[in-house]
Copies of this chain bind each other. A is one copy, B any other.
Amino acid sequence: MNMQEQEDWDSIVLKGHEYYLPHLSVDCVVLGFHHNQLKVLLLKPKQKKNWALPGGFVKKDETLEDAAYRTLLERTGLSDTYLQQFHIFSNPNRTKHYRNDEEFESIGIKMPEENWLRKRFLTVGFYALVEFSKVVPMPNVLSDQCEWWDIDGIGELILDHNEILETAQKSIRLQLKYKPIGFNLLPTKFTLSELQKLYETLLGKKLDRGNFNRKMLSYGFLIQLEEKKSGVRHRAPYLYSFDIEQYNLALNEGLNGGI
């Protein structure tokens, strides 16, 4: 930890209660899609053996959404992500014993017994669907690493973060039935089979190709481009992009019939 980081963290520990709300945090499930694989962005906290979802505190004068956007910007470099609050986790023991003296001593801080970070914390879960290639993962002062993980290979996370991740996935699956939110995970040009693979990954099941294509095209927000997918030997498939206006309409109004 360099001197600036040390000062930042000292200030959160010792003065955080002056500018953050007590008892409340946000945690972000940041999902990306790369090489037909669903990815989640995780941090490795310095003094812990398990990885963690990127989280943050809530300033006294900001909304939860602003706190989540701020956290995301700091960890990903992205400022225009699709972000959705999905659940607040309130088990009274969820953060008990998480902040321990050893952790703080190891980074040179003696944390007072009555420190605000030792209290019970409730956390508001947000999921963010981002374009994988645009993200620049950045660790924070209390973590060594910030990396994309294959979602099937994450193992045990800190606290209740596995539960938060699972709840986010469930919530996304339900949302997908009436909102085309998955498109936020795609690059600006994509093939219909890439889109289908993404939906299959998010929903955890195979979909019929004919039905899927028919439904997707019926919503009116897909634009077929002149351009075809390059680097494909036979019968290169067409690329699509989406009509942002029509797409936002579908996001707000919901899909007629779902997927």
A65-B91 Cα distance, complex, nearest whole Å: 9
**Which residue, of A61, A63, A64, A87, has the highest number of chain B Cβ atoms within 10 A?**
A63
A202, chain B: closest CB distance, angstroms: 15
- A65 and B85: CB pair below 8 A? no
- B120 and A92: CB pair below 8 A? no
Segment with Cβ contacts to B, from A21-29, A127-135, A141-149? A21-29
| Total identical chains | 2
- A90 and B61: CB pair below 8 A? no
* A177 contacts partner chain B, Cβ-Cβ < 8 Å: yes
* A174 contacts partner chain B, Cβ-Cβ < 8 Å: yes
Q: CB-CB < 8 A to A73: which residues of B?
A: none
- B64 and A122: CB pair below 8 A? yes
A211-B72 Cα distance, complex, nearest whole Å: 45
- B178 and A61: CB pair below 8 A? no
A87-B64 Cα distance, complex, nearest whole Å: 11
Asked if A88 meets B90 with Cβ closer than 8 Å, knowing A23-B24, A174-B178, the reply is no
- B64 and A88: CB pair below 8 A? yes
A62-B88 Cα distance, complex, nearest whole Å: 14
- B61 and A92: CB pair below 8 A? yes
Q: CB-CB < 8 A to A120: which residues of B?
A: 21, 60
- A63 and B85: CB pair below 8 A? no
A92-B90 Cα distance, complex, nearest whole Å: 21
Some 27 contacts from A to B, beta carbons below 8 A apart, are A21-B23, A21-B120, A21-B122, A22-B22, A22-B23, A23-B23, A23-B24, A24-B122, A60-B120, A61-B92, A62-B92, A63-B90, A63-B91, A63-B92, A64-B88, A64-B90, A64-B122, A65-B90, A85-B88, A88-B124, A174-B174, A174-B178, A174-B254, A177-B177, A177-B178, A177-B258, A258-B258
